[in-house]
């Protein structure tokens, strides 16, 4: 992997981490309760999967 690709991949990982923190923070601000906790976790998981897919797509485009 050349230096440009390595730097880009590192930047994408930082962005993914920041997105995950924002998603988690938004989830914890919502009302609480067993049902809402389950729904919140599903949304967090769904958004995390979207972030992962987005990062993977960007990473592949730079190979």
44 vs 14: which has the higher pLDDT: 14
Tens of pLDDT along 22-46? 777 766 554 555 666 676 677 777 7
Mean pLDDT of the 45-60 span = 69
Write down the pLDDT at residue 62.
Answer: 47
Write down the pLDDT at residue 63.
Answer: 45
Mean pLDDT over each residue of the chain, to the nearest integer: 70
Phi, psi (deg, nearest 5) at residue 31: -60, 155
Mean pLDDT of the 35-61 span = 69
Q: Calculate the alpha carbon distances from 6 to 33, 47, 49 in Å.
A: 43, 25, 22
Q: Is 59 in contact with 10 (CB distance < 8 Å)? A: no
């Amino acid at each position: 992997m050349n230096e440009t690709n390595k730097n880009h991949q590192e930047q994408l990982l930082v962005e993914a981490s920041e997105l995950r923190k924002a998603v988690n923070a938004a989830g914890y601000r919502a009302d609480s309760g067993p049902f809402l906790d389950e729904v919140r976790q599903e949304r967090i998981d769904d958004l995390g999967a979207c972030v992962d897919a987005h990062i993977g797509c960007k990473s592949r485009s730079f190979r």
